[in-house]
Each structure stands twice: as structure tokens, then as C-alpha cells.
Amino acid sequence: MTHGTIVITGASSGLGAEMARQFAALGYDLALCARRTDRLDGLQAEIAAAHPGRRVEIYALDVTDDDAVIAVTKKIAADLGGIDKFVVNAGLGKGAPVGKGSHYANKETLTTNVLGAFVQAEAAMQVFREQKRGHLVIISSVTSVRGFPSSMTAYASSKAAVASMGEGIRSEMMGKPDLDIDVSVICPGYIRSEMNEKVEQKVKFMVDTEPGVRSMVEAIEARKAHAFVPAKPWAALGRVMQVAPLKVVRKLM
């Protein structure tokens, strides 16, 4: 029995790929989107073998191509007979200290993580408004709560922007009783993935991909408005980071 349909962008690796595995295990039919369709082919085969009853469709998508995002989302809705959840997950972790001449890395991250996320939300919400139901999921980060230094400045800024976007859309939906549309902002802590596998310095509170993503999936399934995950230690640390002096935040992270 299907649990519904879910779209996951940035599904070719890391957190997106693991979310696909776990949502398939829960009974969802999947629409997996990424630029690297060769990786999606492998993931599709893996999920089909593990869960023969699940439908897994793959779509080539660059989230910085606005027209493609709108068109592909409409195609997914037509192919799958609607969309129950749309997970805005695709993103980059590139960055450089501001003023060091590598602004192009920061711009690329901001373009993908902010503008790309906004157009994904636009596409998903068009479908949800037409359906009069749906669940928009924004993957933000614990770094969204404060400014971060050096190569993390652009990334943290992008995640703060999309967290605000998600809250704004949720606020609007509160005034639309005829629409059954939920919005969740999920803020993962440090979860092992391709994005951070090359980070050489030791990172505090890092968890492995599978349990880390499980905490994300649980928060999404609970349709939480906002969640720091895994809850331990990030629910408490997130609140501390919001009010602590910046010097303290630097030491914590």
C-alpha cells in the first residue's frame, strides 16, 4: 500500500539519496530529481530491488534553471497523479571568506541554495494550491540561526534565507483555511554526507548518514513546523545559539 508520493531534489547523493531509501521503506512512491541522472539510475535500481512495490521515477533537473523546475514539477504531478510531499533539498556547500577574491564560489552557493530553493517552492506550491493540499519541506540547517565565519558565511546565509522563506509560506497558509498545505523547515545538524566528507578538521556532534537522516524523516513525517535534528543535541544547542554571544557560538561550533 502506497503511503503517498514524494519529490526529493538533490537525490543523487548524500542526504537526498538516503531520504529516498528511507521514504521508500515507509511506503512512498518517489520522484527523484538531480543533475546526475547516472547516479539516480543506480539509486532507482537499488530501491526497486529492496522494495518491489514502490514506484520510483527519475528526472534530470538543474534547480538553477527556473523554467525546467516549473516544467518538471508539473510533469511529476501528471506522471504520479499528484504530489503529497515536495522536499526542497538540492544545495551546495561551496564558500570562501568574504573579501578574499573568491566571490564566485559564494555566488554559486547562494544562487543554488536560495534562488533555486525559491523556484522549487514556487513550483511545488503551484501544484499544492491546485490540489488544495500538500506538504512543502525545506531542508535548511542549524547554521541558519546565526552568522558563520570564513567559508561557511555564504552557506549559513543561504540556509537562513530558506528558513525564513519556509516560515513566510507557512504564515500565509495559516490564513487559507480552504487549503490543507503544511510547511516544514528542517534544520539538520552535522550529518555525514558527500558535502562534508572532504572537511579535514574534526567536526563536533557529527552523526552517520543513516541515523541522521532517520531523524530528518521522522520530523518530516510528524509534519513539524520547525525542527532541529537530530534532536539531541541540536534542539537545545539551536536555542542556545540563537541567544548566545557570537564568541560563544564560535566555540560551540
**Does the annotation mark 28 as catalytic?**
no
Rg (CA), the chain: 18
Residue pair 11/33 in contact (Cβ under 8 Å)? The answer is: yes
For residue 245, say if its preceding peptide bond is cis, omega within 30 degrees of 0. no
Choosing from 28, 59, 104, 155, which is the catalytic residue?
155
Long-range contacts for 222-228 (Cβ within 8 Å, ≥24 apart)?
A: 223/135, 223/182, 223/184, 224/184, 224/186, 225/170, 225/182, 225/183, 225/184, 225/185, 226/163, 226/167, 226/184, 226/185, 226/187, 227/184, 227/185, 227/186, 227/187, 228/142, 228/187, 228/189
Positions marked catalytic: 155
